[in-house]
């Protein structure tokens, strides 16, 4: 079961041949005071997996896969913007710079409650964004619901470029890490 409403995560799983049901988990995604960005990302993935199990009726077999993605610049976490104005501030902050994108994955075995998790990190470089490019991107609404206010696999791919790491990490579900965690449970999908 995938504890995420993200169509991008569903698509990545399906492309890898994973059969899954979707049952989104809703948790408070606030960064805790003093919490390091990568620790926050992994905690949120684990919290989402547990929240999804808590919502289940009965005790089904199998596992729950949850993920979280953050954008980090200057040690600050850029989450999902609340509105266009916040998205613009985030995109201006990323303009012309390299930043990190972390995607954490948690896999919880429902029968035992055992949970394993990990985090993958990639770097992305933004071109300098002029007002016309920024305005056009904001008008397209692609920023809504996206960490750091962009989707590299969408229109932002015109100005956001992978520097290191894996593209699926930036999209939101590092499949190599998913496979490694699934192997820990002996899961063959």
In a domain, 1, yes or no: no
Give the pLDDT band (50/70/90) at residue 58.
low
Indicate if the pLDDT at residue 25 is higher than 90.
Answer: no
- What is the number of helices (H) and of strands (E) in the chain? 6, 5
Q: What does the DSSP assignment read for 25-80?
A: -----PPPTT--HHHHHHHHHHHHHHHHHHT-SS--SSEEEEEEEEEEETTEEE--
Would you say residue 115 has pLDDT above 60? yes
Which among 47, 68, 93, 168 is annotated as catalytic?
68
Average pLDDT over residues 40-53: 93
- What confidence score (pLDDT) does residue 83 get? 97
> For 63-86, what is the mean pLDDT?
93
Note whether residue 141 is domain-resident.
yes
Flag whether pLDDT at 186 surpasses 80.
no
| pLDDT score at 138 | 98
- When the pLDDT of each residue in the chain is averaged and rounded to a whole number, the result is 90
- How many domains is the chain built from? 1
How far apart CA 162 and CA 179 sit, in angstroms, is 22
The pLDDT value recorded for residue 61 is 63
pLDDT confidence band for 125 (50 / 70 / 90)? very high
Judge whether 140 lies within some domain.
yes
Residue 189 lies in a domain: no
Note whether residue 108 is domain-resident.
yes
Residue that wins the pLDDT comparison between 95 and 16:
95
Note whether residue 72 is domain-resident.
yes
What is the CATH number for 85? Answer: 3.90.950.10
Residues pairing with 68 in the sheet? 104
Of the pLDDT bands very low, low, confident and very high (cuts 50, 70, 90), residue 15 is confident
> Is residue 28 situated within a structural domain?
yes
Reply yes or no on whether the pLDDT at 185 is more than 70: yes
Residue 2 domain-assigned (yes or no): no
Range of the domain at 88: 7-184
CA torsion, ordered 53, 50, 189, 165, to nearest 10 deg: 150
Catalytic status, residue 68: yes
82 closest CA partner among 149, 150, 24: 149
């Amino acid at each position: 079961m995938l504890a995420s409403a993200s169509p991008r995560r569903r698509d990545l799983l399906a492309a890898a041949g994973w059969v899954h049901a979707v049952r989104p988990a809703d948790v408070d995604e606030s960064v805790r005071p003093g919490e390091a960005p990568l620790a926050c990302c992994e905690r949120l993935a684990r919290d989402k997996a547990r929240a999804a199990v808590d919502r289940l009726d009965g005790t089904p077999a199998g596992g729950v896969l949850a993920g979280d993605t953050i954008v980090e610049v200057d040690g600050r976490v850029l989450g999902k913007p609340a509105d266009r104005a916040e998205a613009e501030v985030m995109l201006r902050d990323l303009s012309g710079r390299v930043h990190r994108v972390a995607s954490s994955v948690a896999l919880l075995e429902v029968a035992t409650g055992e949970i394993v998790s990990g985090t993958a990190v990639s770097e992305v470089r933004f071109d300098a964004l002029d007002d016309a490019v920024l305005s056009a991107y904001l008008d397209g609404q692609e920023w809504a619901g996206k960490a750091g206010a962009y989707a590299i696999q969408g229109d932002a791919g015109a100005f956001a470029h992978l520097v290191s790491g894996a593209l699926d990490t930036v999209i939101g579900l590092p499949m190599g890490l998913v496979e490694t965690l699934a192997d820990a449970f002996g899961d063959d999908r």
